[in-house]
Amino acid sequence: MPPAHNERQRLEQERAELPVQIIDRQSELAITPAEHTARRERIAWQIRRLQKRLAEIEARLAAVSE
């Protein structure tokens, strides 16, 4: 069953916001000193999680469009 119109709008809005969040985390990672290993690993994990969520949203929206 295709998502409701409101759900589609929510997914499209989230899809628009995620690249900004990814860029923010990448910037944060770039300025974090190498000796802060745990913090760098946490930020890298957050980036991967955001990228995975973006891919999930794009797949869901593509499935609805077909």
Residue range 13-58, pLDDT digits in tens = 999 999 999 999 999 999 999 999 999 999 999 999 999 999 999 9
**Above 50 in pLDDT, residue 1?**
no
Q: Take residue 50 and report the two structure tokens written for it.
A: 């955001």
**Alpha carbon of 10 to those of 1, 19, 30, 53, 64: distances in Å?**
17, 15, 30, 13, 14
3-class DSSP state for residue 32?
A: coil
Domain boundaries along the sequence of the chain = 5-65
Q: Which helix (H) or strand (E) holds 20?
A: helix 5-31
Q: Take residue 18 and report the two structure tokens written for it.
A: 């995620």
Higher pLDDT residue, 1 or 59?
59
